[in-house]
Amino acid sequence: MPRYALRVEYDGRPFAGWQRQADQPSVQGAIEAALARLEPRDHTIAAAGRTDAGVHALAQVAHCDMNKDWDPFRLSEALNYHLKPAPVAITAAALADNDWHARFSAVERRYLFRILIRRAPATLAAGQVWRIGHDLDAGAMHEAAQHLVGLHDFTTFRASICQAKSPVKTMDAVDVTRAQGLFGPEIHIRCRARSFLHNQVRSFVGTLERVGAGAWAPEDVAKALAACDRAACGPVSPPHGLYLAGVGYPDDPFGG
């Protein structure tokens, strides 16, 4: 059976998350249903990361096994036709080696979180940003974020329901920048690592927001990390505003 890599973009608002669920809409379920329209049978696809309800993706990566030899472009076009009207798009498809795996072959995952700074409610960007009505000091947030880079026990920033075997992870980068967005000033928080704990990025973001607002000093983030105690974490940010921005592979089937 030929294996195909799929690069997937989606709006997470209508979904209960990536993972297929029996009684709620999911991104995985939508793609598997579209695959069944092309080859009528049960399909099971795997993804680089299981995003939570309300979380978006700019470049999620998944793989599927097909009976037929599909031209990758025609496969992506056919899937996009059958995915309508769900807010899911296959932005690229590529033939992959049979032992290539969207999750286990990945060596890097990149997340972006967008905070919109303005007093007025978000309307056109609703559900796609975390709108905050007060200004944030991006410089202080970036300074604080550097305490999170490297190999650490991230128990403080780990959800209680996290199923990872260990809270120890290596964060390759956490960067905070200010940008002028279409609807107002934005704070962008970018995180890069091989893998993440459940709610780790949202825990980072909520904590860094407290630094940007002046409620925490940058050094307080180092103290919270060292505490290895979930109670030391700042408020967890909402899911809207979080995007799976990319996945890295040593042998990228898309040629990137």
115 and 212 part of one domain: yes
pLDDT of residue 229: 96
76 and 58 part of one domain: yes
153 and 113 part of one domain: yes
Domain assignment present for residue 251? The answer is: no
CA distance linking residue 28 with residue 194, whole number of Å: 22
Count of other CB atoms within 10 angstroms of residue 176: 26
The CATH number assigned to the domain holding 76 equals: 3.30.70.580
C-alpha angle with apex 169: 167 to 172, nearest 5 degrees?
155
Burial of 63 (0-12, 13-18, 19+ CB in 10 A): buried
CA distance linking residue 130 with residue 114, whole number of Å: 6
Residues contacting residue 62 through CB under 8 Å, at least 6 positions apart: 5, 6, 8, 28, 31, 45, 46, 47, 48, 102
Render pLDDT for 18-53 as a digit per residue (tens, 0 to 9): 999 989 999 999 999 999 999 999 999 999 999 999
Render pLDDT for 195-225 as a digit per residue (tens, 0 to 9): 999 999 999 999 999 999 999 999 999 999 9
Q: Which of 87, 105, 123 is the last residue of a domain?
A: 105
The CATH number assigned to the domain holding 208 equals: 3.30.70.660
Number of domains in the chain: 2
Q: Is the pLDDT of residue 181 over 80?
A: yes
Render pLDDT for 84-129 as a digit per residue (tens, 0 to 9): 999 999 999 999 999 999 999 999 999 999 999 999 999 999 999 9
Q: Which of 105, 136, 158 is the last residue of a domain?
A: 105
Q: Is the pLDDT of residue 191 over 80?
A: yes
Global confidence as pTM: 0.96
Q: Which of 90, 105, 120 is the last residue of a domain?
A: 105
Host domain of residue 13: 3-105
Residues contacting residue 87 through CB under 8 Å, at least 6 positions apart: 10, 11, 13, 14
Read off the pLDDT band of 256 (50, 70, 90).
Answer: low
130 and 190 part of one domain: yes
Amino acid in the structure at residue 167:
P
Q: Which active-site residues does the annotation give?
A: 52
pLDDT of residue 152: 98
Domain assignment present for residue 253? The answer is: no
186 and 166 part of one domain: yes
